[in-house]
Amino acid sequence: MKKAISEFFKMVLIFLAGRFKKFTMRFKKTKTMKDYMMVYYSQAKSARLTGRKVAWITSGGPVEPLIAMDIIPIYPENHGAMIGASKMGGYLCGLAENMGYSADLCSYARSDISCATVNGGPIGGLPRPDMLVCCNNICGTVLKWYEIQARYFNVPLFILDTPFCHTEYTEEMGRYVRAQFDEYFVFLEKACGKKFDFEKLNHVGHLSHQGQLLWQAVLDTAMHKPSPMSAFDAFYHLALIVTLRGTQDVLDYYTWLLSYMKDRIARGIGAVPNEKYRLLWDNIPIWHRTRWLSEKFASHNACLVADTYTTAWCGALRYIDENNFIDSAAEAHARIYLNIGIDQMAKMVIEMIDKYDVDGFVLHSNRSCKPYSFGQLDIQKIVERERGIPCLMLEADMTDERTFSESQISTRIDAYMEIIKERKNKK
């Protein structure tokens, strides 16, 4: 009883802090990522007070129907990134291992599963979900991970199954995924006890599309030399397109960010002073080492100008029909970067190599993320064959800092940069 009262007061405090933040934001000319994220998480953590529902959803899942139903989406993967960046991943993964989960499992899954039991991590755990939405376009682990959480929280789970698009996307696949969207709407109607608002979904879909276009435009500024932003900046600014896709906030923030980057271009300011070498990054960031890596590459006058990871949140733009969001969403969700064959992935990588005019390709072989890391060696070989640029493979993990060995990675990067410098000087 005592615990319940203190929990209630904590929630009231979080609610008030969020309201206060939202109020003060009105008077701020430039609203920061921190502002948005604080309001977002405080709203989610006090959802019970305001009567709103909370849904946990996978990063590649269709969030727009949730926004249309006024449900607050929460991303355990975004939380995993925060856990990694706060260097709490090792501890939480270890805790999951104590619970019996294998150390070979994804570190997002491990830290989320254990965090739920102790309300640990940088923000004291995620708000309790009312439902879970899992889309397997990013990996197979999410199925079991979400099933575990559905049992733990005793809440309904919706699974959207997207067939793997090895070489092509067929009509049958389209119908199969599209039919599940109808089931998804029914699921949400049942969970919320109200009719699905299709008109609002069209509006949200429109905002989502606009948001993705803006995000792509922000990333495109890195084509400029020197690049006004690095992939490390993209890793940071990514949070909004992931968590608040389909809202006006995203448009406001990225409109500002785009003008900020354009201003840097106009003034000739680069993310890395003396940018001499431009590199492309592959896979999820090593969250616990972003600063170290950023400084390491910068010390060689190298800028990671682009990456395959943050591009994923606008990579399926070509399939979205702004005026027919629901029908095109099926294809856009099935054909994301992690759900296509190696040849197609390599093709996208090569497009990025040309677009951003990079001198090298750095691949993070991520122990956690099997679908992202499996096949990297083939992609590397294709890139070496097609573009002849040096590639570097770094073995690490996105969240579990126990897998990182600094001196070995340091030597690899130094040696790699020696090759890049020599190649470029030869030209």
Query: Which positions lie near another protein, rule CB under 8 A?
Result: 377, 384, 390, 393, 395, 403-405, 407-408, 411-412, 414-415, 418-419, 422
Residue nearer to another protein on the CB measure, 43 or 380? 380
**Which tokens in the block code for residue 56?**
């946990």
DSSP 313: G
Residue nearer to another protein on the CB measure, 308 or 376? 376
Spatial neighbors of 299 by CB under 8 A, at least 6 apart, are: none
**DSSP states of 43-62 as a string?**
HHHTHHHHT--EEEE-TTS-
Phi-psi domain of 108 (left: phi exceeds 0; alpha: psi -120 through 50; beta: other): alpha
- Smallest gap from Cβ 412 to another protein, in A, equals 6
**Which tokens in the block code for residue 272?**
């890395």
Q: What is the rounded distance in angstroms from the CA atom of residue 77 to the CA atom of residue 107? A: 10
- Smallest gap from Cβ 404 to another protein, in A, equals 8
- Give the residue from 375, 400, 363 showing the smallest Cα distance to 104: 400
Residue nearer to another protein on the CB measure, 143 or 342? 342
Q: In what order do the strands lie in the sheet with 302-307?
A: 302-307, 277-282, 360-366, 391-396
Residue nearer to another protein on the CB measure, 170 or 411? 411
* CB-based contact 342:375 (threshold 8 Å): yes
Residue nearer to another protein on the CB measure, 264 or 364? 364
For residue 166, how many other CB atoms are within 10 A of its CB? 12
- Smallest gap from Cβ 406 to another protein, in A, equals 10
* CB-based contact 389:353 (threshold 8 Å): yes
In which residue are the tokens 């040309």 written? 354
Helix (H, G, I), strand (E, B) or coil at 89: helix
Residue nearer to another protein on the CB measure, 160 or 394? 394
- Give the residue from 309, 332, 300, 337 showing the smallest Cα distance to 319: 332
* CB-based contact 209:320 (threshold 8 Å): yes
Residue nearer to another protein on the CB measure, 12 or 419? 419
> Cα-Cα-Cα-Cα dihedral of 112, 118, 119, 125, to 10°?
-10
Number of residues that this document lists for the chain = 427
Residue nearer to another protein on the CB measure, 320 or 392? 392
User: Between vectors from CA 283 to CA 286 and to CA 392, what angle results, nearest 5°?
Assistant: 85
- Smallest gap from Cβ 403 to another protein, in A, equals 8
Residue nearer to another protein on the CB measure, 269 or 419? 419
Residue nearer to another protein on the CB measure, 7 or 418? 418
Using CA of residue 27, residue 28, residue 29, residue 32, what is the dihedral sign? negative
* CB-based contact 250:383 (threshold 8 Å): no
- Smallest gap from Cβ 374 to another protein, in A, equals 15
* CB-based contact 130:169 (threshold 8 Å): no
Residue nearer to another protein on the CB measure, 321 or 386? 386
Distance of CA 305 to the CA centre of its chain: 17
